[in-house]
Structure 1
Amino acid sequence: VSELMVGIETLLEGVIRRLKVDRCHLLVRDYLSAVTIKRWKAFTVNKPDEVDSEVLLVNGRMLIDEGAVNQLRSLVRKDTLYLQDGALAFGYLSPNLAKEVLSSVKAPLDLNGLLKHAGGRVELRRVEGFKLLNYPWELIEACRKMIIEGCRRIGVLKEGELSDKVMVYGGVENVLLAKGVEVEAFVTLDARGGPIFIDEGAIIQSGSRISGPAYVGKHSIVRSAIIGGGTSIGPVCRVGGEVEETIIQGYSNKQHLGFLGHSYMGEWVNIGAGTTNSDLKNTYGTIKVKVEGRRIDTGRIKVGCFIGDYVKTSIGTYIYTGIRVGVCSHLHGFILNDVPSFTIWGLDGKPVELDLESAIRTQKRVFERRNVTQTEEDVALLKYLFEATKEERVDVVKGRLKVDKTTSTVKEP
């Protein structure tokens, strides 16, 4: 969860920046350990025995905004765990106690396990007012605010230049340009609703309109697109068409025409031309999302879709409101139901399981297109996820998908 993006950074990056962390010990689920070590080389991962100083525990689901920082600093006391709504929000432990307790439990941290090993040596205090994220649509809802706060923290940033052929509304002081940014002629930047931050090496091509608050990540390209307020685009993305109040995690491609709104899109996703999602019912009623077998009323009238890493959509794909799409799945046509991980869905036949070796080969190809090397850790994670999500695919046909091009029909394996 801590690697999910909101505003101009991930939740973990927000903790590091706002709390001015110089040393960090990460506790993650075992299957994420190897890839986390690869991504965060400067930090220790799942090695609580190396703790040798006082430890501030922070729940990876916590949204660290300006208010949270001030409140946390005023509350923290040694050897105390702080609970909100029955969950551990944060804690502060002395070195010996931290090493002993954290060596005895695994991520995700179980509160009962912590208390069992800590015994009566910690104080429990209940707090309120912190934001512990429970659902992905809460990230989207918080994104607008977090972009504004992130830009306010940075202040004026004019390492890049704007030509006189770029139209700016709301004042150039509300447009942050990092080093190496290129904004082509006839781009419109509307900062009246909030700041616009274009990060290092990003390119905004002619004909684009970006409304703030918005963030465009490092080395991303916006291709003559309409980018609405509340949108965050991660690093090395290609974005076109229309995007509104959406988070695109990074290394993803949505560069063709089509609408993506009130949605969360993971890494290494490819969105085919004409793919569009719905984020509003015709009845204007609240949207329900299926979570762990239950339909949760989001209480919101605008909720789009939630697309996992490595998902691919074909041209002309249409995605209904509140849809969840699992890792590595391929989408075609109208998507009216949640899609399990590693599933080929929507070719006028039963959904078919995506071959694991095919997913691994595809990962290698897409990595190479962005000059990224596939590692053993990447492959191992895909293999783990394939096994871990098998129950999702109980009703999915097993075997290789075959398409009869003479009749334009799908043959079941």
Structure 2
Amino acid sequence: MNFILYDGEEWKKLFPITLTRPVSEIRLGLFTIKERWEKYIGKNAYDVMTQPFLSEKYSKKESAFFENILLINSSFLPSEELIQIIFSLKENETIFFKDKMIAIKKNFWIKKNIFSLKENKKTYHVQHVIHIQYPWDVFINNETILKRDFKFFTKGKKSFSLLGNNHIICKETIFLEEDIKTNNVVLNAQYGPIYIEKGVKIMEGSVIRGPVAIGKNTILNIGSKIYGGTTIASFCKIGGEIFNSVIFSYSNKVHDGFLGNSILGEWCNLGAGTNISNLRNDYQKVAVWNYEKKDFLPINLQFFGIIMGDHSKCAINTQFNTATVVGVSGNIFGYGFPPRYIPSFFLGGRQIKKKISFHKVCETAEIMMNRRNISFSIVDKKILEHLYQLLDI
């Protein structure tokens, strides 16, 4: 059985994180959604069905006809209960969570056709599943997923040991890959597991309190304070205080400052002294920018920091209000609080008026990526160019 991950209606609801990627490439816990499905099913995804302008980078198959296919909505996360049902599916049988389809088994499927539910032979319903519908669902569920991933992925595996003079609490729920460099740090897994991938460097005075995951070759600067519910992906440079947040690969929060209940996309950079408020002064629930309604809409959430799309940057001492949304390739600087919604490709501070030239967008992306020995490809440029030509993103 081959499986394909597809983007449903959730793709638009997950802006700005999905402006530059399929839903399956969202990271939380120890993995991206795609990686997690592959580990649970035990084989690589056959393909990813996403928006046409993203397909060149993320879709692998050119064929329009597929046989013996399991179609899975990428916005749902796998669980042992769900996998058991999936392995028992027969042709035209489906799995639902409430009124949302999670998966359907098809003996054949034509790529450009919309699959029909009229021929369903049987429908299974699951009572408990994690559904990522909005960006904030990522940090809301991250602590739960970290614990689940740790239990699933470390089963039967042996952790490496740390060298140096370190303070380790609850060693049995700390998993370390090889070549981790630490000295005089605290790893406290009393409140949740800690997973650290290979090549991570943790400088002296840093404290990690689980559940936390740190991706390969990431650097934690002197005195970093990483609280539970936090995932930091690969090749990041991190400092200051971070709480219940997800930072995608190749992004930097190098210096002091607070980041909480937030998501940073790839290739982001927070200047020294940047702070993000994650709680209103009046303790009320927040209103968040809605890309479809083009307005701020209230949500049932009290703690909310920032959602920042790929390639966005902010200058030193930037102060973000609670529940701020920044699009792709934004450049924020200046005195005072920036607006709580900053469209993609715009620059400035309190008054966001000027759109960055596309040449400058590409130039900045290329410089930053070259610093990590990564090429700013033609495909990457095409994705940003497509977004640049759209309005109100």
TM-score interval, smaller chain: 0.7 to 0.9
Contact 2:164 2:184 in 1 (8 A): no
1:31 equivalent to 2:53? Answer yes
- What's the secondary structure of 1:367's corresponding residue? helix
- What's the secondary structure of 1:26's corresponding residue? strand
1:351 aligns with 353
2:338 aligns with 335
C-alpha distance after superposition, 1:5-53 (max 9, x if no partner): 010000111111111124512211110011215xxxxxx346342x24x
2:382 aligns with 380
- Over aligned residue pairs, what C-alpha RMSD do you find? 2.0
Distance of aligned partners of 1:161 and 1:379 in 2 relative to their CA distance in 1, 3 Å threshold? same
1:163 aligns with 163
2:238 aligns with 239
- CA distance in 2 between partners of 1:182 and 1:86 (Å): 48
Q: CA deviation at 1:350?
A: 4.7
- What's the secondary structure of 1:104's corresponding residue? coil
Distance of aligned partners of 1:81 and 1:244 in 2 relative to their CA distance in 1, 3 Å threshold? same
1:108 aligns with none
Q: CA deviation at 1:67?
A: 4.0
Contact 2:358 2:385 in 1 (8 A): yes
1:90 aligns with 103
1:266 aligns with 265
Match of 1:103 among 111, 119, 123: 111
Count how many residue pairs are aligned between Structure 1 and Structure 2.
364
Q: CA deviation at 1:351?
A: 2.1
1:409 aligns with none
> Map of 1:4-403 to 2, 5 A cutoff?
4-22=26-44, 24-37=46-59, 44-45=60-61, 47-49=63-65, 51-52=66-67, 54-73=68-87, 76-94=89-107, 97-98=108-109, 102-105=110-113, 113-115=114-116, 120-123=118-121, 125=123, 127-129=125-127, 130-153=129-152, 154-155=154-155, 158=158, 160-163=160-163, 165-169=165-169, 171-183=170-182, 185-224=183-222, 225-291=224-290, 292-293=292-293, 294-332=295-333, 333=335, 334-346=337-349, 349-388=351-390, 390-392=391-393
Contact 1:82 1:127 in 2 (8 A): yes
- CA distance in 2 between partners of 1:66 and 1:83 (Å): 16
C-alpha distance after superposition, 1:346-368 (max 9, x if no partner): 1x545210111101011111111
- What's the secondary structure of 1:386's corresponding residue? helix
Contact 1:33 1:45 in 2 (8 A): no
Structure 2 unmatched runs, 5+: 1-22
Distance of aligned partners of 1:309 and 1:22 in 2 relative to their CA distance in 1, 3 Å threshold? closer
Contact 1:178 1:198 in 2 (8 A): yes
Distance of aligned partners of 1:47 and 1:274 in 2 relative to their CA distance in 1, 3 Å threshold? farther
| Higher CA-based Rg | 1
C-alpha distance after superposition, 1:79-117 (max 9, x if no partner): 1233444433111111xx32xxx3333xxxxxxx322xx
**2:26 counterpart letter in structure 1:** L
1:400 aligns with none
- CA distance in 2 between partners of 1:231 and 1:377 (Å): 30
- CA distance in 1 between partners of 2:81 and 2:240 (Å): 35
C-alpha distance after superposition, 1:351-401 (max 9, x if no partner): 21011110101111111100111211111111111012x234xxxxxxxxx
Structure 1 unmatched runs, 5+: 38-43, 106-112, 393-413
- CA distance in 1 between partners of 2:97 and 2:156 (Å): 36
Contact 2:338 2:351 in 1 (8 A): no
- What's the secondary structure of 2:240's corresponding residue? strand
Distance of aligned partners of 1:24 and 1:190 in 2 relative to their CA distance in 1, 3 Å threshold? same
- CA distance in 2 between partners of 1:143 and 1:350 (Å): 32
**2:167 counterpart letter in structure 1:** M
2:16 aligns with none
Q: CA deviation at 1:315?
A: 0.4
- What's the secondary structure of 1:301's corresponding residue? coil
Give the TM-score normalised by the residue count of structure 1. Answer: 0.83
- CA distance in 2 between partners of 1:156 and 1:245 (Å): 28
C-alpha distance after superposition, 1:169-218 (max 9, x if no partner): 2x2121111011112x2101110011111101111111100000000001
Distance of aligned partners of 1:160 and 1:126 in 2 relative to their CA distance in 1, 3 Å threshold? closer
Contact 1:33 1:46 in 2 (8 A): no
**1:7 counterpart letter in structure 2:** G
- CA distance in 2 between partners of 1:255 and 1:45 (Å): 39
